[in-house]
Structure 1
Amino acid sequence: MSTNSVDSFNHMSANQLNERLANEALVIVDIRDANAFANGRILGAQHLTNDNLGDFIRVADLDAPTVVCCYHGISSQQAAQFLASQDFSDVYSLDGGFEMWQTTHPEKVER
């Protein structure tokens, strides 16, 4: 995991996520479109959209490690930065996104 001094979120690789999931509870939010989410997601991921964002923030544990997943790890950086700006203290962007997760850990994809 690397910390980017400009941003207030961290980066996490698919392998790092897999290792951490074996030992701790992480909140995983997937910001891809509804169709992509329905066709496959990281086990236990919740779909985060503009429509449910307010509710998510309202009930979230702001100190829980929260990993943001998108398609390729690009959009998740902006979403992770946004969550960090909302007082989430331990936010990660999944490098390579769902595509990397599906490639490296296909057995941990929920459909």
Structure 2
Amino acid sequence: MSAAFLIYSLITWLYQKRIVKTLTEGEFISGYRKAQLIDVREPNEFENGHILGARNIPLSQMKARLQEIRPDKPVYLYCQSGMRSGRAAQLLHRKGYKDLSHLKGGFKGWTGKIKTKN
């Protein structure tokens, strides 16, 4: 059982590595203003703090809200740790999106500007 999970995890990781660029915070900052910045966390997480300029399209709603994301522009994704943004990238890739990047380590490692709802 655990060997199968390990193999599955490795295949998923290799697949993600091929379809989505994992960016350091510096790389993310230098490009996200020219991209569609999408926070894939749930609304309550987003309200507690998010990267300035991000739109909240939770992974749980992404399939239903694809029309909000332009396939002809770069898409920068992030979540809390990097897991959900990787899954969101897989979903977008299957729908034909090509220029996909996500934030290494997710929001929890972010030191740039943030916005919170009071």
TM bracket (short chain): 0.7 to 0.9
Determine helix, strand or coil for the equivalent of 2:76: strand
Q: Distance in 1 between matches of 2:68 and 2:54?
A: 16
Count of residue pairs brought into register by the alignment: 101
Runs of 5+ consecutive residues of structure 2 not aligned to the other structure: 1-12
**Higher Rg:** 2
1:5, CA displacement in angstroms? 6.4
Identity %: 27
Q: Distance in 2 between matches of 1:79 and 1:88?
A: 11
Q: 1:86 to 1:19 in 2, by over 3 A?
A: same
Aligned pairs for 1:1-111 (under 5 A) are 6=15, 7-21=18-32, 24-49=33-58, 50-51=60-61, 53-55=63-65, 57-101=66-110, 104-105=111-112, 108-111=113-116
Q: 1:80 to 1:44 in 2, by over 3 A?
A: same
Determine helix, strand or coil for the equivalent of 1:19: helix
Runs (4 or more) in structure 1 with deviation over 2 Å come to 4-7, 49-55
Output the TM-score relative to the length of structure 2: 0.74
Determine helix, strand or coil for the equivalent of 2:19: coil
Greater share of helix: 2
Output the TM-score relative to the length of structure 1: 0.79
Letter of the 1:54 partner, please give it: A
